[in-house]
A and B are shown apart, each in its own frame.
Chain A
Amino acid sequence: KQEVTQIPAALSVPEGENLVLNCSFTDSAIYNLQWFRQDPGKGLTSLLLIQSSQREQTSGRLNASLDKSSGRSTLYIAASQPGDSATYLCAVSPILIYNQGGKLIFGQGTELSVKP
């Protein structure tokens, strides 16, 4: 059974620091991995999607990497800002025997606080 874990559960850093969020998954049979951002009481916003054949994706100050063989992904945030404060969730799309139409399995999230 696929399980997704994010450590740490919470992280507090001073503004300007570069930081790394971690995501691990137990089964390497995945189509892709996504990173989402969630502001308090809000829905999710997709940040980056890495297909299983890719190693990394970049968008602005964000860089996500994927190592399928070790079951790990990292989200690197450069020069963090107070506006980056939010919960970051990763999710994998598992390869399943029966068609389960785009099912995602989520980690618990890392709550990031960037202090001015």
Chain B
Amino acid sequence: DGGITQSPKYLFRKEGQNVTLSCEQNLNHDAMYWYRQDPGQGLRLIYYSQIVNDFQKGDIAEGYSVSREKKESFPLTVTSAQKNPTAFYLCASSIAGVSTDTQYFGPGTRLTVL
């Protein structure tokens, strides 16, 4: 089956810890994205990548970091510098990362800070 997988489904973080969220796609898409969703709000873009070994900051990149070493994988690290990390995190991909593309979303990871 082609699609986007995210793991884990639920993640708990202690204060001061860094945690990494996994996102993998087998759609052969060039572009991948990370969004954050807070209750009652729309999605906000954290980082995106249009090609391997390149990525750009979105609207709320502070306290987050990413890497894109492989086309299929775009992991997101939530660092201790992110002051309010509790949220639902969604990964997406699109064919070429151009503005006319449809984005396809993974099932999400819910991160809770203890």
Contacts and interface: CB of A to CB of B under 8 A. Distances in A.
B85 interface: no
A43 B105 contact: yes
Interface in B64-114: 88, 90, 92, 94, 97-108, 110
A101 B104 contact: no
A41 B110 contact: yes
26 contacts: A4-B42, A32-B100, A34-B103, A41-B88, A42-B108, A43-B4, A43-B6, A43-B106, A45-B105, A46-B102, A46-B104, A91-B42, A93-B99, A94-B99, A101-B50, A101-B98, A102-B31, A102-B94, A102-B97, A102-B98, A102-B99, A102-B101, A103-B45, A103-B99, A106-B44, A109-B41
Nearest to A44: B105
A109 to B, nearest CB: 6
A100 interface: yes
Interface residues of A, number: 29
Interface of B (DSSP majority class): strand
B68 to A, nearest CB: 12
Tell me which of A34, A51, A95, A109 has the highest count of chain B C-beta atoms within 10 A of its own C-beta: A109
Interface in B6-57: 6, 31, 33, 40-45, 48, 50, 56
A104 B90 CA distance: 13
B11 to A, nearest CB: 14
B31 A101 contact: yes
Contacts of A46: 102-104
Size bracket of the B interface: 20 to 34
A101 B56 contact: yes
B48 A103 contact: yes
Interface string A20-38: 0000000000011010100
B42 A89 contact: yes
A30 to B, nearest CB: 9
Contacts of A100: 48, 56
